[in-house]
Amino acid sequence: MASIPGPIPQLPASPANAPPALGAGEHVTARAQARQRLAFLIMLFPVLVLFVLVRLIDLAVLQGLPEGSSSTISAAPPRGDIVDRNGVELARTFEAYAITVMPKRLTSDPELLATKLAEILPEQSRDAILEVLTSAKSLRYLAHRVLPGQAQRINDLGDPAIEIAREAQRLYPNYSLGAQVLGYTDEKGHGLIGIERAFDDRLADKAARAAPLTLSLDVRVQQAMQYELAALVADQNAKGAAGVVLDVASGEVLAMVSLPDFNPNVPGQRADGTRYTKENDDGSRFNNVTLGAYELGSTFKAFTIASALESGTLTNLQKQYDATQPLHVAGFRIRDDHAKNRWLTVPEIFIYSSNIGTARIAMEVGRDRQRAFLDMLGFLRPVDIELKEKARPQFPPLSNWGQSATMTISYGHGLTVTPLHLAAGYAALVNGGIYHAPTLLRRDGASAVSGRRVVSEATSEQIRRLLRLVVTSGTGRRADAPGYRVGGKTGTAEKIEHGRYVHGRNVVNFAAAFPMDAPRYVVVTMIDDPRGSKATAGFRTAGMVAAPAVRRIIERIAPPLGVAPDSGRDLDLTGLLPAPSEVKE
């Protein structure tokens, strides 16, 4: 292969082994071959260079940036933000300062260093810091979430064993606002409860986390409800409260409040600064709205009347039912708290909250239709929402769902559901009859929201009139926010603890909607064990405790939600009552 151009050296002739001598023509042929090979080699170099060039262009232009360069430099947070429906941030991840110490490498006197550090970190005691500094472990965290100024001062101490690191921390700027809904994460950034848990994959996904997760919540509504309910809990010395505001047209949850609450920025710490233990857990991380199942009392009467209207057993609201004396069924006595001891029309049964009348309506509807109606409203299964923390409703099995169960369930006893069940059910009753599964994600207004019809438009209109009547003339008068055409129903039930009724302890609630001539929002509030106060004249009923809170909430949330008050508009309630009716609490 490697032929050398030029004259071929003469080799000594060997008569036995020497190759045969070449003639002149043969010499010329060998030289030409050598030149051809050389030319081929010379041409090969540009081809190789061209190949390299093409490859370079391919890498630089066609394939763009080298793999990995876009992922190493990115402004995307390590975990996605959570924002409310208007873009207000509810949770975000930011790089905070953390202080670590390697005790074995300390060059300063631990006692002296602990004193200095305690001055910089006032939230930690000197003894606790000294314990970290003298630890036998190779690395200990001295503090998380240190302010930049504090980090600088610690750095100025100059001990090489103390290192300042940046670490991702989850921040909830609104503190306890919607704490149970938002939830919190563990130290590794995994969601433990609430939205953080339900959307853990979405928030941690490398591609999706650049865009914030937009919830249906509205911080203005959430703040108004949480503030008013907290004030009510304090006034009533109640054990807790729950509240939810629902858009009746889409099922979007605008506010979800559960009290007591906690600060998700320090989830392991109680409001009084002590650490949570199994013994002192006050239940503040428990979401009463989705995880708490309660007998919600008379607010269920609206469903009983709706089922009667739908089934055809009730065709005229002026039909009268015997409420002259208590009912005795299977050893139970059904009586009225506001007993009229006479025959009552349906509107009277509703505004006087007659258990006897409602039980008689339910008996006409029958067990099967009652059960089917409640099932259609989703009351016999966990509420359909994104959160993982959901209670399973408690109700008698079909074999034990007899006459007495039919009667008691008609006025909200013998069946436990969550406040969110109640809100979704009321939304379906007042919005024209369409059930929308509640959601914590903002729905695009342009897209049609799917739902299922549970009652007819005519039944929905009748229920709206009855609910408005309760607020104008019944037990819910203290919920009447002027101009906002509020309708609703009170509910009071004995509390259940460990499967038994607790005498003297009530769960009161109020399910409201506004404006009733064209309902837009449902507001449900529930107070756990109110004790009465001067403001309620010692009463602990829903009409005295929950209804005024609903009025204050509606007056606060209606303007930002764009609901204009109009004292000149209202539902036509004529014909429901024979004469103006006054009801005493």
Partner 1 sequence: MRQYFSALAMIAVTTVVVAGAQIITTKAAAERRAVTKLNIELVETTVRIRELEAELGTRAGMPELQRWNDAVFQLSAPQGAQILHSPVQLAGFAAQPDGAPRVQFAIAGSGLPIQPPAAGAAAPGAQPAPATQAGARVVQTSFEGQKAPYAAPYPANDTLQADDLAALQPQGGAS
User: Residues with catalytic annotation?
Assistant: 298
C-beta closer to partner 1: residue 2 or 448: 2
DSSP bridge pairs for 510: 490, 525
> What token pair was written down for 99?
């202080």
Joined together, the tokens standing for residue 162 give 């103390």
**Residues 166/122, Cβ–Cβ less than 8 Å:** no
Given a contact cutoff of 8 angstroms between Cβ atoms, the answer to whether 513 and 521 are in contact is yes
Collapsed DSSP state (helix, strand, coil) of residue 157:
helix
Dihedral of the alpha carbons of 428, 431, 436, 439, in degrees to the nearest 10: -110
Residue whose C-alpha is closest to residue 269's, from 390, 179, 389, 199: 179
- For the CB of residue 43, give the shortest distance to partner 1 in the complex, in Å: 8
Provide the 3-class DSSP secondary structure of residue 161.
coil
C-alpha closest to that of 174 among 86, 97, 88, 244: 88
The tokens describing 421, both together, are 């069940």
Q: Which of 421, 304, 420 is nearest to 373 (CA)?
A: 304
Residue appearing with tokens 């002149």: 24
For residues 583 and 585, give the distance between their C-alpha atoms in angstroms, rounded to a whole number: 7
* Dist. CA 390–CA 418, nearest whole Å: 9
> Could you tell me the two tokens for 198?
């339900």
How many Å apart are CA 334 and CA 405, to the nearest integer?
12
Residue 378: CA atoms inside 13 Å, Cβ hemisphere, count? 24
In DSSP terms, which residues pair with 513 in a beta bridge?
A: 487, 522
Q: Which residue has the tokens 């609910």?
A: 467
Where do we find the tokens 């010499």? Answer: 27
Return the number of other C-beta atoms located less than 10 Å from residue 334's C-beta. 20
The residues of the shown chain that bind partner 1, judged by CB under 8 A, are: 35, 38, 42-43, 45-46, 49, 52-53, 56, 60, 65, 69, 73-75, 77, 88-89, 92, 94-95, 171, 173-177, 219-220, 222-223, 227, 481-484, 552, 555-556, 559, 564-567
Pairing of strands 213-214, 82-83: parallel
Residues 322 and 339 sit within 8 Å (Cβ to Cβ) = no
- Shortest separation between residue 566's beta carbon and partner 1, angstroms: 7
Closest contact distance (angstroms) between CB of 434 and partner 1 is 28
Smallest distance, Å, CB 57 to partner 1?
A: 9
By the 10 Å C-beta count (0-12 exposed, 13-18 middle, 19+ buried), 102 is classed as middle
Minimum distance of partner 1 from residue 55's CB (angstroms): 11
CA distance 5 to 36: 11
DSSP 490: E
Minimum Å gap between C-beta 523 and partner 1 is: 14
Residues 486, 403: Cα–Cα separation, whole Å: 34
Rounded-to-integer distance, Cα 260 and Cα 276, Å = 14
CB nearer to partner 1: pick between 45 and 499 = 45
